Chain A
Amino acid sequence: MELTVAPNPFFWAADDWEALYQDLTAAPVERVVLGELVCSKRLPFYQDRIPKVIESLQAAGKQVVLTSLALVTLKRERKLTAQLADLGLEVEVNDLTALAQLPRDLAFSVGPLVNVYNESTLRWLAARGATRISLPPELPLASVAVLARAGADCGVAVEVWGHGRVPLAISGRCYHARLHGRTKDNCQFACEEDADGLEVRTLEDQPFLTMNGVQTLSDRYACADYQIETLQGAGVSALRLSPQSSGFPDLCGLYRDRIEGRLAMGELAQRLQHKAPGLRLSDGFLTGESGADWSGTSR
Chain B
Amino acid sequence: MVMEIVCPAGTPASLRAAVKAGAHTVYCGFNDVTNARNFPGLNFDRAEMREGVAFAHAHGAKVLVAINTFPRAGAEDIWQRAVADAAAAGADAVILADPGLLDYAARNHPQIRRHLSVQAAAANADVINFYAETFGVKRVVLPRVLSVPEIAAINAETEVETEVFVFGGLCVMAEGRCSLSSYATGLSPNMNGVCSPASHVEYRDTGGVLDARLGGYTIHQVGKDEPAPYPTLCKGCFSASGKQGHLFEDPVSLNAEQLIPQLQRAGVTALKIEGRQRSRSYVAQVVRNFRAAVDALEAGQPLPVGMLARLSEGQATTTGAYKKTWR
Which positions in A face B, CB cutoff 8 Å? Answer: 70-75, 77-78, 81-82, 95-97, 99-101, 113, 115, 117-125, 136-139, 142-143, 146-147, 150, 166, 168-175, 177-179, 183-185, 198-206, 208-209, 211, 216, 218, 284-285, 288-292
Contact = CB atoms under 8 A, between A and B. Distances in A.
Nearest to A202: B218
A218 B74 contact: no
Contacts of A203: 211, 218, 220-221, 237-239, 244
A199 B243 CA distance: 11
Nearest to A99: B130
A117 B127 contact: no
Given A72-B124, A118-B100, A142 B180 contact: no
A120 B327 contact: no
B76 interface: yes
Interface residues of B, number: 68
A118 B72 CA distance: 6
Contact of A185 (B101, B126, B150, B324): B324
A202 B190 contact: no
Nearest to A113: B177
Contacts of A119: 73-74, 76, 100
A289 B172 CA distance: 25
Contacts of A139: 73
Contact of A171 (B70, B97, B172): B172
B121 A184 contact: no
Contacts of A290: 182-186, 215
B257 to A, nearest CB: 21
B73 A142 contact: yes
B188 interface: yes
A269 B122 CA distance: 38
The secondary structure that dominates the B interface is mixed
A68 to B, nearest CB: 11
Nearest to A194: B241
A82 B104 CA distance: 28
Contacts of A175: 247-248
A224 to B, nearest CB: 16
Contact of A183 (B124, B143, B150, B327): B327
B260 interface: no
Contacts of B178: 168-170
B145 interface: yes
A97 B76 CA distance: 25
Contacts of A199: 240
A158 B191 CA distance: 20
Given A113-B177, A124-B103, A290-B186, A118 B71 contact: yes
Given A137-B179, A205-B239, 20 more contacts: A70-B177, A82-B126, A115-B176, A117-B73, A118-B72, A119-B74, A119-B76, A121-B70, A121-B101, A121-B103, A123-B100, A124-B100, A143-B72, A172-B326, A202-B239, A203-B239, A206-B217, A208-B238, A291-B183, A292-B183
Interface of B: 70-74, 76, 97-101, 103-104, 121-127, 129-130, 143-146, 150, 153, 172-174, 176-180, 182-186, 188, 190-191, 211, 215, 217-221, 234, 236-241, 243-244, 247-249, 321, 324-327
20 contacts: A71-B174, A72-B126, A77-B124, A78-B126, A100-B130, A115-B99, A115-B176, A117-B70, A120-B100, A121-B100, A136-B179, A150-B73, A171-B145, A171-B172, A178-B247, A184-B327, A205-B239, A216-B248, A290-B182, A290-B184
Contacts of B247: 175, 178-179, 200, 211
Nearest to B126: A100
Contacts of A179: 240-241, 243, 247
Among B123, B220, B234, B243, the one with the most A-chain Cβ atoms within 10 Å of its Cβ is B123
Given A96-B127, A118-B73, A216 B146 contact: no
A289 to B, nearest CB: 5
Nearest to B75: A118
A207 to B, nearest CB: 10
B191 to A, nearest CB: 7
Contact of B73 (A147, A202, A292): A147
B174 A138 contact: no
Contact of A201 (B146, B238, B326): B238
B321 A172 contact: yes
Contacts of B327: 172-174, 177, 183-185
Contact of B180 (A78, A120, A169, A172): A169
Contacts of B186: 284, 288-291
Contacts of A122: 100
Contact of B217 (A146, A171, A208): A208
Contacts of B179: 136-138, 166, 168-169, 285, 291
Nearest to A187: B327
A206 B218 contact: yes
